Amino acid sequence: MLCIKNGYVIDPKSGLEGYRDILIKDGKIVEIEEQGKISVDAQNERVEYIIDAGGKMVSPGLVDVHVHFRDPGFTYKEDIESGAAAAAKGGFTTVVLMANTKPTVDNEETLDYVIKKGKKTGINVYTCANVTKGMKGQELVDMESLSRAGAAGFTDDGVPVLNEEILREALRKAAKLGKPISLHEENPKYITNNGINAGAASEYLGIVGSPREAEIDMVKRDIEIAAEEESDLSIQHISTKEAVELIRQIKKKSGHIFAEATPHHFTLTQEAVIKHGTLAKMNPPLREEADRMAIIEGLRDGTIDMIATDHAPHSVEEKEKPITEAPSGIIGMETSLSLGIRELVMPGYLTMMELIRKMSTAPAEFYHLDAGYIAEGGPADLVIFDKDAKRQVTKDGFASKSCNSPFVGEWLPGVVEYTICGGEVVYKDKSLIK
Give me the DSSP letters along 204-218. Answer: HHTS--B-THHHHHH
Contact predicate 369/64, CB 8 Å = no
Instruction: Compute the C-alpha angle 409/91/79, nearest 5°.
Output: 80
Cα distance from N-terminal residue to C-terminal residue, the chain: 22
DSSP 8-class letter at 335: T
Could you list the active site residues? 310
Of residues 100, 98, 150, the one with CA closest to residue 128: 98
> In the prediction, which pLDDT does 41 show?
60
Of residues 281, 274, 286, 266, the one with CA closest to residue 212: 286
180 pLDDT higher than 60: yes
The helix, strand and coil proportions of the chain, stated in percent and rounded to the nearest 5, come to 35, 25, 45
Contact predicate 117/352, CB 8 Å = no
- What is the CB neighbour count within 10 angstroms for residue 165? 8
Q: Residues 367-396: pLDDT tens digits?
A: 999 999 999 999 999 999 999 999 999 999
233 pLDDT higher than 50: yes
Mean of the pLDDT values across residues 339-358?
A: 98
Q: How many CA atoms lie within 13 A of 95 on its CB side?
A: 33
333 vs 149: CA distance, rounded Å: 27
44 pLDDT higher than 60: no
User: Do the bridges between strand 382-392 and strand 57-60 make them parallel or antiparallel, or are there none, so unpaired?
Assistant: antiparallel
Mean of the pLDDT values across residues 177-202?
A: 98
Q: Residues 117-157: pLDDT tens digits?
A: 999 999 999 999 999 999 999 999 999 999 999 999 999 99
Q: How many CA atoms lie within 13 A of 230 on its CB side?
A: 1
Q: Is the dihedral of CA 249, 254, 257, 259 positive or negative?
A: positive
Contact partners, residue 108, CB within 8 Å, separation at least 6: 145, 146, 149
Mean of the pLDDT values across residues 96-113?
A: 98
Share of the chain above pLDDT 90, in %: 95
> In the prediction, which pLDDT does 42 show?
47
Mean of the pLDDT values across residues 190-203?
A: 97
* Confidence grade of residue 5 (pLDDT, cut at 50, 70, 90): very high
